[in-house]
Structure 1
Amino acid sequence: MRKKVARLVTLALSVCALATGAAMAQPYPARPVRLIVPFPPAGATDVLGRAIAQKLSEGLGQPVLVENRPGAGSTIGSDQVAKAAPDGYTLLLASGSLAIAANLYGKLGFDVIKSFTPVSLVGHVPHMLVVNPSVPANSVKELIALAKSRPGQLSAASQGNGTLSHLELEMFKEAAGVDILHVPYKGSNNVMPDLLAGNVSVFFDSVPSSMPLVKNGKLKALGVVGAKRLPTSPDIPTLAEAGLPGFEVKNWFALLAPAGTPKEIVQVLNAQVQKAVAAPDLAERMASQGVVLEASTPVQLAALVKTDVAKWGKVVKDANVRMN
């Protein structure tokens, strides 16, 4: 009887081993993939995430399902991915906000650099410096001169303490050596009425949000916060060209996987992102949303994240930025 039981146990273990081996031998992906977007639906990150998910679904041959997990400067959704199994079935559409959050929140429960495996950049949204038309400055140099002549009197809006628009302002103040009053709001939609009314004078905003107002004369664009001029508005200089050498911010979006994700899976995902951003239909669609599609190698993305974490850490510390 004991020999019979032993044979049955051995047979069962053999079957399990064969099943496990067969499962492991299945090419990735063998089931649907989750893409966590750490922001609410309908925002820029969500729109990009769903567009990329569609292209990845086509390339991978499996559904890529978007799940919104907003909150705490993108850290809630990011934490979920950081703690997920490193098997390529849970991914994160991260943004530059994650590098900022690394310096604003004391206890994240994960490490922005060590808890993720970089896959690829996906794109970026250019920002620019805009002012109310009543501001007597038509260039960055004139704005700096004006601010120096009126220390503490010019006001600049932001989307809230610790947001990208706030830290861009702090970088500008430090680089230009000026004193400008920071007025935090709760989101860009709350900023615009006061900016257009002249209740605040200066704002660092995304190009898609402000450009229509610039074109109809309701705002003045003084400079682009990036390495290059905008192809659609080549007359607007970069801030570096306008008198602040080295002033550059990249509001990036990227695909990250949990730390420890196998290189083979990362290579598959990277190849599909490269293919997606090269698709003319997606590029055209995202351009209408103000997103510039851009892929990268995992190594390039890792370097960008590391550089941004260090850069924003210095800005946060020097400006003594605190959360609301």
Structure 2
Amino acid sequence: MIKKSIKKIVLAALVLPLVLGTAFAAYPDKPIKMMIGFAPGSATDIVGRIVANELSIALKQPIVVENRGGAAGTLAADAVAKSNPDGYTVLFAQNGLAINVASNPKLPFDGQKDLLPVVGVAATPHILIVGKGSKAKSVAELTAMLKAAPGKLSFGSSGIGNSDHMAGELFLATTGTQAIHVPYKGGSPAATDLVGGQIDFYFAGMPVGLPLFKGDKVNALAVTGKNRFSGAPELVTMQEAGVKGYEMALWQGIFVPAGTSPAIINTLSTTVLKILDTPEMKERFVKAGVQMAPMNTQQFSDLYTSDIARWKVVIEKAKIKLD
């Protein structure tokens, strides 16, 4: 009798890991929803869909993209934060999330507890563009125009608190100038109004602004990164243009709700990193005007945490109001 019991225990010990292994190997066994808090055609949407398409192929399951714009990406982030942490609802977000967490204590979720960074994908500078009819042919001339008419010129963004909005606010704070902020529901409509002359300047996401510049529909004055952008090396950085200390990039990556298993996070992270490490994806990113920046879970978590701290300081120092 004892021998039979021992045999059952041994058998169970041998079978259990196989069962668990099989269960884990099944992920994903149904479609995954990727929520993006910005309008179709926006910079984050463009990059998110590139990643979703390749991730779908790699995981052999459909990745269904759902655009839930509004409140600077907060609506989508909140939905994911409160979703079932089973790996089937993920968020493709940008540094506007860190800005929101840094600036708004009344968010309907805790950005540092309810969402987990999984993998970083890109860190792309913004591109400062003006209409073809603009008198500003350089950053210095735009600054002079702003100083000559405080609060008269306008700049667009894809929404209050978004990365492009903060790029504009940081420029105004750094140069000691004022302008009217005009928020839109996405980068594309903001760019459309810039081309049409309804607004004066726009720190556009590169996937939105670069094609307009390359297509000679707008003039580009500078890029916001520390170094020149490889997709348009002829454009100076803001610091080269005379705005000392100005540096900003739009990072993008995947988040999941807190409570998601480390195994699922690892699957998503390692799969995306493998996808990014291919000549095909690197070429697609370049063509889309995106600076690829693969980051594993720890690296992306560190960036997210440090960015929240950075924006808290910037917002308080510059007295930027996001309401």
TM superposition score normalised by structure 1: 0.79
User: Which residue number in structure 2 is paired with residue 26 of structure 1?
Assistant: 22
Distance, in Å, in 1 between the alignment partners of 2:209 and 2:38 is: 21
User: Following TM superposition, by how much is the alpha carbon of 1:91 offset from its aligned partner in structure 2, in angstroms?
Assistant: 2.7
Is 2:275 the partner of 1:279?
Answer: no
Q: 1:199-214 alignment to 2 at 5 Å?
A: 199-214=198-213
Distance 1:295 1:272 in 2: 12
SS at match of 1:251: strand
Q: What corresponds to 1:234 in structure 2?
A: 233
Q: How does 1:1-324 map to 2 (within 5 A)?
A: 23-26=19-22, 28-30=24-26, 31-32=29-30, 34-39=32-37, 42-44=40-42, 45-60=44-59, 62-68=60-66, 70-71=68-69, 72-103=71-102, 105-192=104-191, 194-317=193-316, 318-323=318-323
Contact 1:33 1:90 in 2 (8 A): no
Structure 1 unmatched ranges of 5 or more: 1-15
The CA RMSD over aligned residues, in Å, is 3.3
Instruction: Verify the 8 A CA contact 2:52 2:65 in the aligned structure 1.
Output: no
CA deviation profile, 1:222-267 (whole Å, cap 9, x unmatched): 1101222122321101112222233222212112233344444433
Change (3 A) 1:135 1:312: same
Larger radius of gyration: 1
**Separation (CA, whole Å) in 2 of partners of 1:167 and 1:40:** 16
CA shift at 1:21, angstroms?
Answer: 6.4
Gaps of 5+ in 2: 1-11
Q: How many residues align structurally?
A: 308
Shift of 1:84: 3.9
Question: Following the alignment from structure 1 to structure 2, what is the Cα–Cα distance between the partners of residues 158 and 263?
Answer: 36
Relative distance call for 1:220 and 1:50 in structure 2 (3 A) is closer
Moved more, 48-57 or 229-238: 48-57
Instruction: Quote how far apart the aligned CAs of 1:210 are.
Output: 2.7
Q: Is the 8 A contact 1:224 1:238 kept in 2?
A: yes
Counterparts of 1:21 and 1:299 in 2: how far apart (Å)? 27
**AA matched with 2:64:** V
Kept after mapping to 1: 8 A contact 2:39/2:186 = no
Q: Residue 161 of structure 1 contacts residue 321 of structure 1 at CA under 8 Å; is this kept in 2?
A: no
Give, in angstroms, the shift of residue 69 of structure 1.
5.4
Dislocated runs of 4+, deviation >6 Å: 16-21
Structure 1 residue 155: deviation in Å? 2.9
Aligned equivalents of 1:210, 1:264: Cα separation in 2 = 38
Q: Which residue of 2 aligns with 1:7?
A: none
Shift, 1:121, TM fit: 0.5
297-306 or 261-270, which deviates more: 261-270
Q: Distance in 2 between matches of 1:287 and 1:280?
A: 11
Instruction: Work out whether residues 36 and 90 of structure 1, in 8 Å CA contact, stay in contact via their aligned partners in 2.
Output: yes
In 1, the alpha carbon distance for the partners of 2:263 and 2:153 equals 53
Q: Is the 8 A contact 2:169 2:320 kept in 1?
A: no
Structure 1: how far apart are the matches of 2:146 and 2:119? 40
For each residue in 1:45-77, what CA deviation from the matched residue of structure 2 results, as whole angstroms up to 9, or x when unmatched?
4443343234334444x4153241514332333
* Distance apart, 1:116 and its partner CA: 2.6
Question: CA 1:194–1:272 in structure 2 vs 1: closer, same or farther (change >3 Å)?
Answer: closer
Measure the CA separation in 2 of the matches of 1:163 and 1:23. Answer: 45
In 2, are the aligned partners of 1:170 and 1:315 still within 8 Å (CA)? no
1:255 alignment partner AA: I
1:174 CA drift (Å): 0.8
Change (3 A) 1:105 1:212: same
CA distance in 1, matches of 2:48, 2:187: 20
Tell whether the 8 Å contact from 1:162 to 1:321 is kept in structure 2 after alignment. no
Aligned equivalents of 1:41 and 1:163: distance in 2?
12
